[in-house]
Amino acid sequence: MTISTSTPILPLLKEPERLANRLAEIPPEPGVYFMRDGSDRIIYIGKSRKLRSRVRSYFRDGYNKSERIATMAKQVTDIEFIVTDTEAEALALEANLIKQHQPYFNVLLKDDKKYPYVCITWSEDYPRIFITRKRQLGKEKDKFYGPYTDAGLLREILRISKRIFSLRQRPQALFKDRPCLNYDLGRCPGVCQKLISPEEYRKTVQKVAMVFQGRSQELIDILTEQMQTAAEALNFESAARIRDQIAGLNSLTANQKVSLPDDTVSRDALALAADEQRACIQLFQIRAGQLVGRLAFIADTQAEPGAILQRVLEEHYQTADAVEIPTEILVQHELPDSEILADILTQRKGKKVTIVHPQRQTKAELIEMVERNAEYELQRTQKLSDRNHQAMQDLATILDLPDLPHRIEGYDISHIQGSNAVASQVVFIDGLPGKQHYRHYKIKNPNVTAGHSDDFASLAEVIQRRFRKYGEDPQLPRVGNPDWPDLIMIDGGKGQLSSVVAVLQEMNLLEDLRVVSLAKRQEEIFLPGESQPLETDAEQPGVQLLRRLRDEAHRFAVSFHRQQRSDKLKRSRLDEIPGLGHHRQKQLLGHFRSVDYIRQATPTQLAEVAGIGPRLAQEIYDYFHPS
């Protein structure tokens, strides 16, 4: 059963009668519930064996809720639910719905970009393998492995993998009509010139994927059999190549032996260490008695340790292939629904999966080792958090803020004498860069042109565009809205600050926003309406926090400006060709990679590009080859 009504304007917490009626409609049965906001977006999805009790807890006074969940509850304007027969069905349905809708408040595990992942782009004919700190579900077929705690070791594993197996070494082709030196050295099969079929190349990448799936020993066994077959067929060159691959794989897992009674069982060991604010979770992947991976997660501590571990396992195995699921999972605490989770994993793997809470002997010692690693990570995280907290406290004191600035936004302008003017918006969350919230702006002011710059007008334009929706709709929430900043920092002095203050006054937003500027020369902080800077020390923690924000805004603006300038230089000569618009220029550059290759192409080669007919191809050729 699903309940749905037209979206009300006010949150349910502000309409107690409607909230009570909605809660009364929810049955005490197992199922999945949805929380929607004023824009009818799903912002949270959860499951429960008793829907009514669980949903009611979000709106109960005095209930121990984390800041994230409390903020979510203030925005809920409607609730929907789906009743299931069993809690196991609810668990599976919740995982699928979260994957489909990606609700904003649904991530228990924080993606703070601290730990790297490995991505394999299976959506492409010739998959790429690269390390990233940003896990995005852009294309469903792409796979992410991790997050890994040791970035240096991860880079070494990828480097050795590219040396062992013949893989593409560059994201883009270096030459238009021939492979690069990597092909001659045997390090690349000539992907750029399609000298290997997609099917054959994917077989190679599948072998590399086995390394990140913790299946190195299984891969070694397969390669050993292939080596013996090649040797029996007197194909000694192939056998030698496979022998070298086996030797390289053995070097990856050397000196990583973990002493357990049964080395043939694949198992994961999971433990956490927590304080009042966060839990640091470590997951050790052990295959054939060897530690092949050490993953790390950070979670809020609004739940019991067993519930946190269960959620980590649910999210971790949600996108894992069946072969990546171990047959035994060791956990530090009893899970609230271990039998249900074990049954779901068993069905996915096709083999019996057991979840064990060991109490003594070797397996308990392994859990203790994982827990010690989690404690060390928690201590490191606490030190970083304490430093940032101290900086935010100092900044709140300097600026006389009522609360600590949770979200701080920094803005900067970059250009060369007005040309290619751009702006950056960077965001710090609790003193750390929140790169998922960064934004670029291209300055649209017609008065800002080459030879005529105007940083004041440019900043005013950016701030107006950033907060336009709040100026047009006064009903949009400010307090508790994760998009609303607690502090805005402008890179510059009194002039830049005045231009921003003026536009915020026009939008009737100045009373709700705190704005300051930071001048470069002496690191001076200016407040609106004040002619003199605040009396501060450039080395005190709060000022240093603003400096880090200012430097990051400057870096982000300059990098975008350079990119825009480079793109313009690429197109400068193409702009002079009649009939060749921006879209066709992009198609040409995407096909030939550079203007030099376009100049060398024949009319027939030019006409092969989509949207470039024979006539236009001849005009392009004639432009570069005047008679």
Q: How many residues does the chain have?
A: 627
Q: Among 34-38, 68-72, 74-78, 269-273, which range has the highest average pLDDT?
A: 269-273
Residues 473 and 507 both lie in one domain: yes
Q: State residue 89's pLDDT score.
A: 79
Residue 138: is its pLDDT beyond 80? no
Residues 309 and 441 both lie in one domain: no
Task: Give the domain CATH number at 66.
Answer: 3.40.1440.10
Q: State residue 111's pLDDT score.
A: 45
CA distance 444 to 462: 9
| 564-580 residue pLDDT tens | 766 665 556 677 777 78
Residues 282 and 196 both lie in one domain: no
State the average pLDDT over residues 36-63: 84
CB atoms within 10 A of CB 447: 11
Domain tally, the chain: 5
Cβ neighbours of residue 361 closer than 8 Å, sequence gap 6 or more: none
Domain that holds residue 293: 267-380
* Overall pTM > 0.85: no
Backbone angles phi, psi at 83, to 5 degrees: -85, 135
Give the least confident one: 212-216, 321-325, 537-541: 212-216
Q: State residue 410's pLDDT score.
A: 93
User: Does residue 426 lie within any of the structural domains?
Assistant: yes
Task: Give the domain CATH number at 273.
Answer: 3.30.420
Residue among 419, 422, 545 at smallest CA distance from 489: 545
CB atoms within 10 A of CB 604: 10
State the average pLDDT over residues 176-192: 80
Cβ neighbours of residue 453 closer than 8 Å, sequence gap 6 or more: 415, 417, 418, 421
User: Does residue 200 lie within any of the structural domains?
Assistant: yes
Residue 331: is its pLDDT beyond 90? yes
Residues 563 and 587 both lie in one domain: no
Distances (CA, A) of 561 to 173, 422, 425, 476: 25, 6, 13, 33
Number of separate helices (H) and strands (E) present in the chain: 20, 18
State the average pLDDT over residues 345-358: 89
Residue 390: is its pLDDT beyond 80? yes
Q: State residue 411's pLDDT score.
A: 93
Give the least confident one: 200-204, 255-259, 441-445: 255-259
User: Does residue 429 lie within any of the structural domains?
Assistant: yes
3 state SS of 84: coil
User: Does residue 388 lie within any of the structural domains?
Assistant: no
| 495-524 residue pLDDT tens | 889 999 999 999 988 888 999 999 877 788
Residues 450 and 364 both lie in one domain: no
State the average pLDDT over residues 570-596: 76
Q: State residue 252's pLDDT score.
A: 54
Residues 559 and 446 both lie in one domain: yes
- pLDDT category at 323 given cuts 50, 70, 90 is confident
CA distance 303 to 294: 24
User: Does residue 389 lie within any of the structural domains?
Assistant: no
User: Does residue 237 lie within any of the structural domains?
Assistant: yes
Q: Which long-range contacts (CB under 8 A, 24 or more apart) does 399-405 make?
A: 399/487, 399/514, 399/516, 399/525, 399/527, 399/534, 399/542, 401/486, 401/487, 401/514, 403/486, 404/486, 405/486, 405/487, 405/514
Euclidean distance between the first and the last CA atom of the chain, given in angstroms as a whole number: 75
Q: Among 47-56, 139-148, 165-174, which range has the highest average pLDDT?
A: 47-56
| 462-474 residue pLDDT tens | 999 999 988 888 8
CB atoms within 10 A of CB 261: 9
Residues 194 and 156 both lie in one domain: yes
Instruction: Decide if 59 contacts 291 (C-beta within 8 A).
Output: no
Q: State residue 567's pLDDT score.
A: 64
Q: What percent of the chain has pLDDT over 70?
A: 89
45, β-bridge pairs = 34
Residues 613 and 539 both lie in one domain: no
Residue among 325, 335, 327, 326 at smallest CA distance from 357: 335
Residues 547 and 591 both lie in one domain: no
Q: State residue 2's pLDDT score.
A: 40
Q: State residue 5's pLDDT score.
A: 41
User: Residue type at 323?
Assistant: V
Give the least confident one: 112-116, 456-460, 608-612: 112-116
State the average pLDDT over residues 173-183: 78
Instruction: Decide if 620 contacts 589 (C-beta within 8 A).
Output: no
Q: Among 92-106, 143-157, 248-262, 356-370, which range has the highest average pLDDT?
A: 356-370
User: Does residue 112 lie within any of the structural domains?
Assistant: no
Residue 259: is its pLDDT beyond 60? no
Residues 558 and 502 both lie in one domain: yes
Q: Where are the alpha helices (DSSP H) in 437-533?
A: 455-466, 468-472, 494-506
- pLDDT category at 258 given cuts 50, 70, 90 is low
314: left (phi over 0), alpha (psi -120 to 50) or beta: alpha
- pLDDT category at 295 given cuts 50, 70, 90 is confident
Give the least confident one: 41-50, 139-148, 254-263, 576-585: 254-263
3 state SS of 520: coil
Task: Give the domain CATH number at 437.
Answer: 3.30.420.340
**In the block, which residue shows the tokens 């006539």?**
615
Residue 282: is its pLDDT beyond 60? yes
Residue among 506, 492, 407 at smallest CA distance from 455: 492
Question: What does the DSSP assignment read for 39-71?
Answer: TS-EEEEEEESSHHHHHHHTT-TT----HHHHH
Q: State residue 573's pLDDT score.
A: 67
User: Residue type at 627?
Assistant: S
Q: Which residue has the higher pLDDT, 32 or 481?
A: 32
Q: State residue 249's pLDDT score.
A: 66
The overall average pLDDT reported for the chain is 81
Q: State residue 454's pLDDT score.
A: 83
Residue 214: is its pLDDT beyond 50? yes
Give the least confident one: 165-179, 401-415, 560-574: 560-574
Residue among 146, 425, 169, 183 at smallest CA distance from 295: 146
Cβ neighbours of residue 442 closer than 8 Å, sequence gap 6 or more: 421, 422, 564
As given in the structure block, the two tokens for residue 533 are: 């800077």
Cβ neighbours of residue 109 closer than 8 Å, sequence gap 6 or more: 297, 298, 299, 311, 312, 315
Residue 44: is its pLDDT beyond 80? yes
Residue 68: is its pLDDT beyond 60? yes
Residue 243: is its pLDDT beyond 50? yes
Q: State residue 107's pLDDT score.
A: 57
Residues 563 and 607 both lie in one domain: no
Burial group, residue 179, by CB count within 10 angstroms (0-12, 13-18, 19+): middle
- pLDDT category at 355 given cuts 50, 70, 90 is very high
**349, 380, 411 — which closes off a domain?**
380
Residues 545 and 588 both lie in one domain: no
**CA angle, 190 as apex, 186 and 191 as ends, to 5°?**
130
User: Does residue 340 lie within any of the structural domains?
Assistant: yes
